Amino acid sequence: MAEELKGKVMTTDAGRPVGDNQNSLTLGPRGPVVFEDFLLFEKMAHFNRERVPERVVHAKGSAAYGTFTVTNPDMAKYTTAKLFDKVGKQTPTFLRFSTVGGEKGSADTERDPRGFALKFYTEEGNWDMVGNNTPVFFIRDPLKFSDFIHTQKRDPATNLKSPTMMWDFWSLSPESLHQVTILFSDRGTPDGYRHMNGYSSHTFSLINAKGELFYCKWHFKTKQGIKNFTREEADNMKSVDMDYSQRDLFNAIEKGDFPKWRVQVQIMPEADAATYHINPFDLTKVWPHSDYPVIEVGELELNRNPENYFAEVEQAAFDPKNVAPGMGFSPDKMLQGRLISYPDAHRYRIGVNYNLLPVNEPKCPYSTYNRDGSMRFNANGGSTPNYEPNSFGGPTQHPKYVERPTSYSTSTVGRFSHREHDSDYYTQPGNLFRLMSPDAQERLVGNIGSSLSQVEQRIQDLQINHFYKCDPKYGEGVAKAIGRKIEDIVKKEELVSA
Protein backbone atom coordinates (compact mmCIF):
# COMPACT_ATOMS: atom_id res chain seq x y z
CA MET A 1 0.00 0.00 0.00
CA ALA A 2 2.85 2.43 0.84
CA GLU A 3 4.29 1.99 -2.66
CA GLU A 4 0.88 2.53 -4.24
CA LEU A 5 0.52 5.88 -2.44
CA LYS A 6 3.90 7.26 -3.49
CA GLY A 7 3.63 10.12 -5.95
CA LYS A 8 -0.14 10.39 -5.63
CA VAL A 9 -1.85 13.75 -5.31
CA MET A 10 -3.46 14.28 -1.93
CA THR A 11 -7.25 14.60 -2.04
CA THR A 12 -10.15 15.22 0.29
CA ASP A 13 -12.23 12.25 1.44
CA ALA A 14 -14.46 12.88 -1.57
CA GLY A 15 -11.53 12.78 -4.00
CA ARG A 16 -11.04 16.52 -4.58
CA PRO A 17 -7.32 17.22 -5.18
CA VAL A 18 -5.70 19.35 -2.46
CA GLY A 19 -3.57 22.27 -3.59
CA ASP A 20 -2.28 23.42 -0.18
CA ASN A 21 -2.21 21.28 2.96
CA GLN A 22 0.00 23.70 4.91
CA ASN A 23 -2.10 26.84 5.33
CA SER A 24 -5.66 27.53 6.41
CA LEU A 25 -7.91 29.74 4.28
CA THR A 26 -7.73 33.18 5.90
CA LEU A 27 -8.62 36.80 5.34
CA GLY A 28 -5.13 38.02 4.54
CA PRO A 29 -1.93 36.73 6.17
CA ARG A 30 -2.98 37.87 9.65
CA GLY A 31 -6.76 37.61 9.28
CA PRO A 32 -9.15 35.04 10.71
CA VAL A 33 -9.91 31.61 9.28
CA VAL A 34 -12.97 31.64 7.01
CA PHE A 35 -15.87 29.21 7.22
CA GLU A 36 -15.47 27.95 3.68
CA ASP A 37 -12.20 26.16 4.49
CA PHE A 38 -13.61 22.73 3.72
CA LEU A 39 -10.23 21.03 4.10
CA LEU A 40 -9.62 22.36 7.61
CA PHE A 41 -13.07 21.33 8.83
CA GLU A 42 -12.88 17.92 7.18
CA LYS A 43 -9.51 17.22 8.81
CA MET A 44 -10.69 18.43 12.21
CA ALA A 45 -13.99 16.56 12.10
CA HIS A 46 -12.25 13.32 11.14
CA PHE A 47 -9.48 13.83 13.71
CA ASN A 48 -12.00 14.41 16.52
CA ARG A 49 -13.61 11.04 15.80
CA GLU A 50 -10.50 8.88 15.53
CA ARG A 51 -10.55 7.42 19.03
CA VAL A 52 -13.31 6.14 21.25
CA PRO A 53 -14.06 6.91 24.00
CA GLU A 54 -11.18 8.79 25.65
CA ARG A 55 -10.15 12.28 24.57
CA VAL A 56 -8.06 12.35 21.42
CA VAL A 57 -5.61 14.62 23.25
CA HIS A 58 -5.34 15.48 26.95
CA ALA A 59 -6.72 12.02 27.78
CA LYS A 60 -5.09 11.70 31.20
CA GLY A 61 -6.14 14.47 33.52
CA SER A 62 -6.65 15.63 37.09
CA ALA A 63 -8.96 18.39 38.28
CA ALA A 64 -10.25 20.38 41.21
CA TYR A 65 -12.73 23.12 42.03
CA GLY A 66 -11.64 26.50 43.28
CA THR A 67 -12.21 30.22 43.51
CA PHE A 68 -10.95 33.19 41.50
CA THR A 69 -10.66 36.43 43.51
CA VAL A 70 -10.17 39.86 41.90
CA THR A 71 -7.32 42.03 43.25
CA ASN A 72 -7.07 44.70 40.51
CA PRO A 73 -9.53 47.64 40.81
CA ASP A 74 -8.74 48.90 37.27
CA MET A 75 -9.95 46.07 35.04
CA ALA A 76 -12.92 48.20 33.91
CA LYS A 77 -10.43 50.12 31.76
CA TYR A 78 -10.19 47.02 29.60
CA THR A 79 -13.42 45.03 29.90
CA THR A 80 -17.07 45.15 30.92
CA ALA A 81 -16.97 41.50 32.06
CA LYS A 82 -18.71 41.49 35.45
CA LEU A 83 -16.45 38.92 37.07
CA PHE A 84 -13.73 41.62 37.23
CA ASP A 85 -15.93 44.51 38.36
CA LYS A 86 -14.67 44.96 41.94
CA VAL A 87 -11.81 43.98 44.21
CA GLY A 88 -12.59 40.95 46.32
CA LYS A 89 -15.24 39.58 43.95
CA GLN A 90 -15.12 35.79 43.79
CA THR A 91 -16.07 33.46 40.96
CA PRO A 92 -16.23 29.66 41.33
CA THR A 93 -13.88 27.76 39.00
CA PHE A 94 -12.96 24.28 37.84
CA LEU A 95 -9.42 23.54 36.64
CA ARG A 96 -8.36 20.41 34.75
CA PHE A 97 -4.68 19.59 34.28
CA SER A 98 -3.55 16.98 31.78
CA THR A 99 -0.77 15.51 29.73
CA VAL A 100 -1.25 16.05 26.00
CA GLY A 101 -0.04 13.03 24.05
CA GLY A 102 -0.46 10.06 26.39
CA GLU A 103 -3.41 7.73 26.76
CA LYS A 104 -5.53 7.55 29.92
CA GLY A 105 -3.32 4.85 31.39
CA SER A 106 -0.01 6.59 30.67
CA ALA A 107 2.28 8.11 33.27
CA ASP A 108 1.50 11.70 34.19
CA THR A 109 5.20 12.55 34.59
CA GLU A 110 6.01 11.99 30.90
CA ARG A 111 7.93 14.66 28.98
CA ASP A 112 4.97 16.45 27.46
CA PRO A 113 3.22 19.82 27.60
CA ARG A 114 0.56 20.00 30.32
CA GLY A 115 -2.99 21.14 29.70
CA PHE A 116 -4.27 23.95 31.93
CA ALA A 117 -8.02 24.23 31.22
CA LEU A 118 -10.11 26.56 33.37
CA LYS A 119 -13.86 26.97 33.63
CA PHE A 120 -15.09 30.15 35.35
CA TYR A 121 -18.76 29.89 36.36
CA THR A 122 -19.51 33.61 35.96
CA GLU A 123 -22.84 35.40 36.48
CA GLU A 124 -22.92 36.01 32.71
CA GLY A 125 -22.26 32.43 31.63
CA ASN A 126 -19.21 30.19 31.58
CA TRP A 127 -15.79 31.46 30.56
CA ASP A 128 -13.58 28.57 29.45
CA MET A 129 -9.88 29.23 29.05
CA VAL A 130 -8.22 26.26 27.36
CA GLY A 131 -4.49 26.72 27.88
CA ASN A 132 -1.24 24.91 28.57
CA ASN A 133 1.73 25.21 30.91
CA THR A 134 3.68 26.79 28.04
CA PRO A 135 3.08 30.21 26.47
CA VAL A 136 3.56 28.90 22.91
CA PHE A 137 2.77 25.80 20.84
CA PHE A 138 4.41 23.65 18.13
CA ILE A 139 2.38 24.95 15.18
CA ARG A 140 0.53 28.11 14.21
CA ASP A 141 -1.99 26.89 11.65
CA PRO A 142 -4.86 24.56 12.67
CA LEU A 143 -4.63 22.71 9.37
CA LYS A 144 -1.49 21.05 10.76
CA PHE A 145 -2.93 20.10 14.17
CA SER A 146 -4.02 16.55 13.36
CA ASP A 147 -0.75 15.93 11.49
CA PHE A 148 1.25 17.08 14.52
CA ILE A 149 -0.75 15.06 17.05
CA HIS A 150 -0.40 11.93 14.95
CA THR A 151 3.38 12.21 15.42
CA GLN A 152 2.89 12.23 19.21
CA LYS A 153 0.69 9.13 19.20
CA ARG A 154 1.62 5.67 17.91
CA ASP A 155 3.21 4.47 14.68
CA PRO A 156 0.45 2.93 12.53
CA ALA A 157 2.66 -0.08 11.73
CA THR A 158 4.33 -0.88 15.06
CA ASN A 159 1.79 0.72 17.44
CA LEU A 160 4.79 2.13 19.33
CA LYS A 161 5.72 5.72 20.15
CA SER A 162 8.14 6.88 17.47
CA PRO A 163 10.94 9.44 17.92
CA THR A 164 11.36 9.30 14.14
CA MET A 165 7.81 10.54 13.53
CA MET A 166 8.26 13.36 16.03
CA TRP A 167 11.63 14.61 14.82
CA ASP A 168 10.74 14.13 11.16
CA PHE A 169 7.74 16.46 11.60
CA TRP A 170 9.62 18.98 13.77
CA SER A 171 12.62 19.11 11.44
CA LEU A 172 10.27 19.94 8.55
CA SER A 173 8.28 22.44 10.66
CA PRO A 174 10.86 24.89 12.05
CA GLU A 175 8.11 27.03 13.60
CA SER A 176 8.06 24.31 16.31
CA LEU A 177 11.54 25.23 17.61
CA HIS A 178 10.35 27.50 20.40
CA GLN A 179 8.02 24.90 21.91
CA VAL A 180 10.52 22.07 21.31
CA THR A 181 13.11 24.04 23.29
CA ILE A 182 10.65 24.41 26.18
CA LEU A 183 9.55 20.78 25.97
CA PHE A 184 13.08 19.42 26.27
CA SER A 185 14.09 21.91 28.95
CA ASP A 186 13.43 21.36 32.65
CA ARG A 187 9.89 22.64 32.11
CA GLY A 188 9.04 19.57 30.01
CA THR A 189 8.83 17.40 33.15
CA PRO A 190 7.12 19.43 35.91
CA ASP A 191 7.07 18.06 39.46
CA GLY A 192 3.32 17.64 39.66
CA TYR A 193 0.64 20.11 38.65
CA ARG A 194 0.93 22.45 41.63
CA HIS A 195 4.44 23.63 40.74
CA MET A 196 3.90 24.85 37.18
CA ASN A 197 2.49 27.94 35.51
CA GLY A 198 -0.48 28.09 33.16
CA TYR A 199 -0.99 30.27 30.07
CA SER A 200 -3.82 31.05 27.70
CA SER A 201 -1.10 30.78 25.02
CA HIS A 202 -3.66 32.08 22.52
CA THR A 203 -4.37 35.76 22.04
CA PHE A 204 -7.86 36.73 23.20
CA SER A 205 -9.48 40.16 23.47
CA LEU A 206 -11.16 42.40 26.02
CA ILE A 207 -13.72 45.13 25.22
CA ASN A 208 -14.51 48.04 27.56
CA ALA A 209 -17.64 50.17 27.95
CA LYS A 210 -16.39 52.60 25.27
CA GLY A 211 -16.18 49.80 22.74
CA GLU A 212 -12.38 49.87 22.78
CA LEU A 213 -10.72 46.54 22.09
CA PHE A 214 -7.54 45.25 23.70
CA TYR A 215 -5.79 42.03 22.73
CA CYS A 216 -4.58 40.00 25.69
CA LYS A 217 -2.68 36.94 26.86
CA TRP A 218 -3.43 35.33 30.23
CA HIS A 219 -0.79 34.08 32.67
CA PHE A 220 -1.25 31.97 35.81
CA LYS A 221 1.93 32.01 37.92
CA THR A 222 2.20 29.31 40.57
CA LYS A 223 2.59 30.57 44.15
CA GLN A 224 4.05 27.21 45.16
CA GLY A 225 7.22 27.93 43.17
CA ILE A 226 8.39 26.21 39.99
CA LYS A 227 9.64 22.66 40.55
CA ASN A 228 10.68 20.24 37.81
CA PHE A 229 11.98 16.70 37.56
CA THR A 230 15.20 15.92 35.72
CA ARG A 231 14.87 13.43 32.88
CA GLU A 232 16.21 10.67 35.14
CA GLU A 233 13.83 11.57 37.99
CA ALA A 234 10.81 11.68 35.68
CA ASP A 235 11.73 8.32 34.13
CA ASN A 236 12.16 6.79 37.57
CA MET A 237 8.82 8.17 38.77
CA LYS A 238 7.08 6.39 35.88
CA SER A 239 8.16 3.09 37.46
CA VAL A 240 7.36 4.22 41.02
CA ASP A 241 4.00 5.96 40.58
CA MET A 242 2.27 6.34 37.20
CA ASP A 243 -0.24 8.70 38.86
CA TYR A 244 2.18 10.89 40.79
CA SER A 245 0.72 14.22 39.66
CA GLN A 246 -2.88 13.11 40.29
CA ARG A 247 -1.97 11.83 43.76
CA ASP A 248 0.01 14.95 44.65
CA LEU A 249 -2.81 17.33 43.69
CA PHE A 250 -5.58 15.32 45.34
CA ASN A 251 -3.68 14.78 48.60
CA ALA A 252 -2.61 18.42 48.89
CA ILE A 253 -6.20 19.65 48.61
CA GLU A 254 -7.50 16.87 50.86
CA LYS A 255 -5.24 17.99 53.72
CA GLY A 256 -6.04 21.69 53.24
CA ASP A 257 -2.83 22.70 51.46
CA PHE A 258 -4.69 24.62 48.76
CA PRO A 259 -2.55 25.49 45.70
CA LYS A 260 -2.73 29.05 44.40
CA TRP A 261 -1.81 30.92 41.24
CA ARG A 262 -1.28 34.63 40.62
CA VAL A 263 -3.51 35.63 37.68
CA GLN A 264 -1.96 38.15 35.30
CA VAL A 265 -2.68 39.52 31.84
CA GLN A 266 -0.70 41.17 29.05
CA ILE A 267 -2.62 43.94 27.29
CA MET A 268 -2.04 45.17 23.73
CA PRO A 269 -4.16 48.08 22.38
CA GLU A 270 -5.93 47.09 19.18
CA ALA A 271 -4.03 49.63 17.05
CA ASP A 272 -0.66 48.16 18.07
CA ALA A 273 -1.46 44.80 16.47
CA ALA A 274 -1.27 46.17 12.92
CA THR A 275 2.30 47.47 13.30
CA TYR A 276 3.88 45.29 15.99
CA HIS A 277 7.07 43.66 14.68
CA ILE A 278 5.87 40.22 15.80
CA ASN A 279 2.59 38.80 14.54
CA PRO A 280 0.62 39.07 17.82
CA PHE A 281 -1.66 36.22 16.75
CA ASP A 282 1.15 33.69 16.12
CA LEU A 283 0.89 30.88 18.67
CA THR A 284 4.59 30.03 18.29
CA LYS A 285 5.63 33.47 19.57
CA VAL A 286 5.47 35.29 22.90
CA TRP A 287 4.97 39.01 23.51
CA PRO A 288 8.14 40.21 25.26
CA HIS A 289 7.28 41.54 28.72
CA SER A 290 9.47 44.56 28.04
CA ASP A 291 6.92 45.61 25.40
CA TYR A 292 3.75 44.46 27.16
CA PRO A 293 4.33 43.91 30.89
CA VAL A 294 2.03 41.63 32.86
CA ILE A 295 -0.73 43.28 34.87
CA GLU A 296 -1.93 41.73 38.12
CA VAL A 297 -5.60 40.68 37.96
CA GLY A 298 -6.32 38.35 40.84
CA GLU A 299 -5.68 35.04 42.55
CA LEU A 300 -6.83 31.52 41.73
CA GLU A 301 -7.11 28.96 44.54
CA LEU A 302 -8.02 25.28 44.25
CA ASN A 303 -9.82 24.17 47.40
CA ARG A 304 -12.16 21.23 46.67
CA ASN A 305 -11.62 17.81 45.12
CA PRO A 306 -14.25 16.25 42.83
CA GLU A 307 -16.44 13.61 44.48
CA ASN A 308 -16.69 11.39 41.41
CA TYR A 309 -13.89 11.33 38.85
CA PHE A 310 -15.94 10.15 35.88
CA ALA A 311 -18.89 12.48 36.41
CA GLU A 312 -16.83 15.59 37.07
CA VAL A 313 -13.40 15.17 35.46
CA GLU A 314 -13.86 12.69 32.62
CA GLN A 315 -17.06 14.40 31.47
CA ALA A 316 -15.74 17.95 31.89
CA ALA A 317 -15.84 19.77 28.55
CA PHE A 318 -14.07 23.06 27.90
CA ASP A 319 -15.02 25.29 24.96
CA PRO A 320 -12.75 28.23 24.08
CA LYS A 321 -15.82 29.73 22.36
CA ASN A 322 -17.29 30.29 25.85
CA VAL A 323 -16.40 33.86 26.83
CA ALA A 324 -18.30 36.38 28.95
CA PRO A 325 -19.66 39.67 27.56
CA GLY A 326 -16.75 42.12 27.43
CA MET A 327 -14.41 39.37 26.23
CA GLY A 328 -13.71 38.08 22.73
CA PHE A 329 -11.38 36.32 20.36
CA SER A 330 -8.64 37.34 17.91
CA PRO A 331 -7.39 36.37 14.42
CA ASP A 332 -5.15 33.75 16.09
CA LYS A 333 -5.56 30.93 13.52
CA MET A 334 -5.08 28.14 16.05
CA LEU A 335 -7.70 29.68 18.35
CA GLN A 336 -10.11 30.06 15.43
CA GLY A 337 -9.70 26.37 14.63
CA ARG A 338 -10.32 25.39 18.25
CA LEU A 339 -13.54 27.41 18.39
CA ILE A 340 -14.96 24.81 15.98
CA SER A 341 -12.94 21.74 16.93
CA TYR A 342 -13.50 21.61 20.71
CA PRO A 343 -17.31 21.64 20.81
CA ASP A 344 -17.35 19.25 17.86
CA ALA A 345 -15.14 16.83 19.80
CA HIS A 346 -17.38 17.08 22.87
CA ARG A 347 -20.53 16.35 20.87
CA TYR A 348 -18.88 13.22 19.57
CA ARG A 349 -17.24 12.04 22.79
CA ILE A 350 -19.93 12.90 25.37
CA GLY A 351 -23.01 13.73 23.31
CA VAL A 352 -24.83 16.74 21.92
CA ASN A 353 -26.16 17.68 25.38
CA TYR A 354 -22.77 17.77 27.11
CA ASN A 355 -23.44 21.30 28.36
CA LEU A 356 -26.31 20.02 30.54
CA LEU A 357 -23.98 17.89 32.69
CA PRO A 358 -23.52 19.46 36.15
CA VAL A 359 -19.78 20.08 35.74
CA ASN A 360 -20.38 21.92 32.44
CA GLU A 361 -23.71 23.61 33.14
CA PRO A 362 -23.69 27.38 33.76
CA LYS A 363 -24.43 28.43 37.35
CA CYS A 364 -26.39 31.48 36.14
CA PRO A 365 -29.87 31.48 34.53
CA TYR A 366 -29.78 30.50 30.86
CA SER A 367 -32.31 30.14 28.04
CA THR A 368 -31.80 28.35 24.75
CA TYR A 369 -33.92 26.94 21.96
CA ASN A 370 -31.64 23.93 21.49
CA ARG A 371 -33.77 20.84 22.14
CA ASP A 372 -33.80 17.06 21.87
CA GLY A 373 -30.71 15.00 21.08
CA SER A 374 -29.30 11.91 22.75
CA MET A 375 -29.49 11.73 26.57
CA ARG A 376 -31.65 14.82 27.01
CA PHE A 377 -32.24 14.38 30.74
CA ASN A 378 -34.01 17.58 31.78
CA ALA A 379 -37.51 18.92 30.93
CA ASN A 380 -36.39 19.64 27.35
CA GLY A 381 -38.19 23.00 27.36
CA GLY A 382 -41.54 21.46 28.25
CA SER A 383 -44.37 22.79 26.12
CA THR A 384 -42.72 26.14 25.35
CA PRO A 385 -41.88 27.06 21.73
CA ASN A 386 -38.72 25.59 20.23
CA TYR A 387 -38.36 28.34 17.62
CA GLU A 388 -37.56 32.06 17.54
CA PRO A 389 -39.08 34.55 16.93
CA ASN A 390 -42.31 33.56 18.63
CA SER A 391 -45.27 35.44 20.14
CA PHE A 392 -45.52 33.34 23.31
CA GLY A 393 -43.03 35.16 25.50
CA GLY A 394 -39.99 33.03 24.74
CA PRO A 395 -36.46 34.36 25.29
CA THR A 396 -35.36 37.02 22.81
CA GLN A 397 -32.12 38.55 21.62
CA HIS A 398 -30.73 41.73 23.21
CA PRO A 399 -28.80 44.22 21.06
CA LYS A 400 -26.37 45.15 23.84
CA TYR A 401 -24.76 41.73 23.45
CA VAL A 402 -24.08 41.99 19.71
CA GLU A 403 -20.40 41.27 19.02
CA ARG A 404 -18.26 44.32 18.42
CA PRO A 405 -17.54 44.75 14.67
CA THR A 406 -13.94 44.11 13.71
CA SER A 407 -12.22 45.58 10.65
CA TYR A 408 -9.39 43.92 8.74
CA SER A 409 -6.87 45.56 6.46
CA THR A 410 -7.49 43.20 3.54
CA SER A 411 -10.44 41.46 1.96
CA THR A 412 -8.48 38.83 0.04
CA VAL A 413 -9.25 35.24 0.96
CA GLY A 414 -6.56 32.69 0.20
CA ARG A 415 -4.18 30.09 1.60
CA PHE A 416 -1.39 32.41 2.70
CA SER A 417 1.86 30.63 3.51
CA HIS A 418 2.69 31.20 7.15
CA ARG A 419 6.32 30.37 6.35
CA GLU A 420 6.58 32.85 3.49
CA HIS A 421 5.17 35.68 5.60
CA ASP A 422 7.24 34.91 8.73
CA SER A 423 10.34 32.75 8.52
CA ASP A 424 11.92 33.94 11.78
CA TYR A 425 11.76 30.64 13.60
CA TYR A 426 15.02 31.16 15.44
CA THR A 427 15.09 34.44 17.40
CA GLN A 428 12.75 33.56 20.27
CA PRO A 429 13.99 29.98 20.88
CA GLY A 430 17.56 31.34 20.66
CA ASN A 431 16.72 34.01 23.22
CA LEU A 432 15.21 31.34 25.47
CA PHE A 433 18.34 29.18 25.16
CA ARG A 434 20.57 32.13 26.09
CA LEU A 435 18.40 32.88 29.13
CA MET A 436 19.12 29.43 30.54
CA SER A 437 21.95 28.83 32.96
CA PRO A 438 24.85 26.67 31.68
CA ASP A 439 23.66 23.65 33.66
CA ALA A 440 20.08 24.09 32.35
CA GLN A 441 21.48 24.30 28.79
CA GLU A 442 23.39 21.10 29.44
CA ARG A 443 20.24 19.31 30.60
CA LEU A 444 18.32 20.64 27.58
CA VAL A 445 20.78 19.29 25.00
CA GLY A 446 21.06 16.03 26.96
CA ASN A 447 17.28 15.58 26.93
CA ILE A 448 17.15 16.28 23.20
CA GLY A 449 20.09 14.00 22.54
CA SER A 450 18.48 11.05 24.32
CA SER A 451 15.54 11.27 21.91
CA LEU A 452 17.18 12.54 18.71
CA SER A 453 19.86 9.84 18.86
CA GLN A 454 17.17 7.27 18.00
CA VAL A 455 16.42 8.69 14.54
CA GLU A 456 18.29 8.46 11.25
CA GLN A 457 21.10 10.88 10.38
CA ARG A 458 19.33 12.85 7.68
CA ILE A 459 16.65 13.92 10.21
CA GLN A 460 19.32 14.62 12.84
CA ASP A 461 21.16 16.83 10.37
CA LEU A 462 18.10 18.88 9.47
CA GLN A 463 17.07 19.37 13.10
CA ILE A 464 20.56 20.25 14.36
CA ASN A 465 20.88 22.84 11.59
CA HIS A 466 17.75 24.44 13.04
CA PHE A 467 19.20 24.42 16.56
CA TYR A 468 22.43 25.90 15.23
CA LYS A 469 20.56 28.80 13.66
CA CYS A 470 18.95 29.51 17.02
CA ASP A 471 22.38 29.67 18.65
CA PRO A 472 25.62 27.97 17.59
CA LYS A 473 26.13 26.63 21.12
CA TYR A 474 22.67 25.07 20.96
CA GLY A 475 23.46 23.15 17.77
CA GLU A 476 26.96 22.22 18.93
CA GLY A 477 25.60 20.93 22.25
CA VAL A 478 23.01 18.67 20.63
CA ALA A 479 25.54 17.35 18.10
CA LYS A 480 27.93 16.50 20.92
CA ALA A 481 25.12 14.87 22.91
CA ILE A 482 24.52 12.36 20.09
CA GLY A 483 28.23 11.76 19.51
CA ARG A 484 28.60 13.73 16.30
CA LYS A 485 30.71 16.66 15.13
CA ILE A 486 28.99 19.92 14.26
CA GLU A 487 31.35 20.33 11.26
CA ASP A 488 29.83 17.20 9.71
CA ILE A 489 26.30 18.59 10.02
CA VAL A 490 26.26 22.35 9.51
CA LYS A 491 27.26 23.82 6.17
CA LYS A 492 30.81 25.19 6.15
CA GLU A 493 29.81 28.68 5.10
CA GLU A 494 27.46 28.90 8.08
CA LEU A 495 30.27 27.87 10.41
CA VAL A 496 32.54 30.56 8.94
CA SER A 497 29.92 33.29 9.20
CA ALA A 498 29.18 32.33 12.81
Q: Could you list the active site residues?
A: 58, 132
**C-alpha to C-alpha distance for 459 and 480, rounded to whole angstroms:** 16
Q: At 91, phi and psi to the nearest 5?
A: -130, 130
Q: Left, alpha or beta for 27 (phi > 0: left; psi -120 to 50: alpha)?
A: beta
**Angle 388-390-394 (CA atoms, 0-180°, nearest 5)?**
80
CA angle 178, 181, 184 (to 5 degrees): 150
Q: Taking the CB of residue 490, how many other CB atoms lie within 10 A of it?
A: 21
CA distances 430 to 53, 168, 179, Å, are 40, 21, 12
Residues 6+ apart with CB under 8 A from 190: 114, 133, 196, 226, 227, 228, 229, 245
366, 367, 370, 371 alpha-carbon torsion, rounded to 10° = 100
- Under DSSP, the state recorded for 228 is B
What phi and psi, each to the nearest 5 degrees, are found at residue 354? -60, -30
* Among 136, 427, 429, CA closest to 284: 136
